[in-house]
A = this chain, B = another copy of it.
């Protein structure tokens, strides 16, 4: 239901959010989130163009969230890489009834709208305020264990 690219983008920002005021190299994020390095690079470029993250080039550079995690909705991230498309007119191209959808497409769009709203009102910060037994990006053995913080 969600594309692979969306998954990757969400994992990436979730990883960034753990320590969001510093840049993190693509390679680090890729290790942390277990996804293909070079594909992530493309995803990060898309997030950058959409203004979700900032790129810092050169040594000790990387990507960094553009806003605080409590200001960033999951929908923004999703739409940055693979926009959720609402059904705003009859896909059959039937003329004459502008925004009126038939019952079938009405239901489909209702469902899409629900999904959209779910993620519109979920912020990245909420993901981190985990109370359950499993931490944000799934490491269950290790303790808090963000990135490897320089010591």
Choose among B33, B96, B136 the residue that contacts A141 (Cβ–Cβ < 8 A).
B96
The answer for the CA separation of A146 and B96 in the assembled complex, in Å, is: 19
Contact-residue size bin, chain A (C-beta under 8 Å from the other chain): 35 or more
The answer for the CA separation of A91 and B33 in the assembled complex, in Å, is: 10
**Residues of chain A in range 1-43 having any CB-CB distance to chain B below 8 Å:** 1-2, 7, 10-11, 14, 33-34
**A104 lies within 8 A of B11 (CB):** yes
Cβ of A143 < 8 Å from any Cβ of B?
no
- Give me the 9 closest cross-chain CB pairs, A-B, nearest first: A94-B138, A97-B140, A102-B138, A103-B127, A100-B134, A34-B92, A90-B138, A103-B130, A102-B134
The answer for the CA separation of A10 and B92 in the assembled complex, in Å, is: 13
**A136 lies within 8 A of B104 (CB):** yes
**B138 lies within 8 A of A97 (CB):** yes
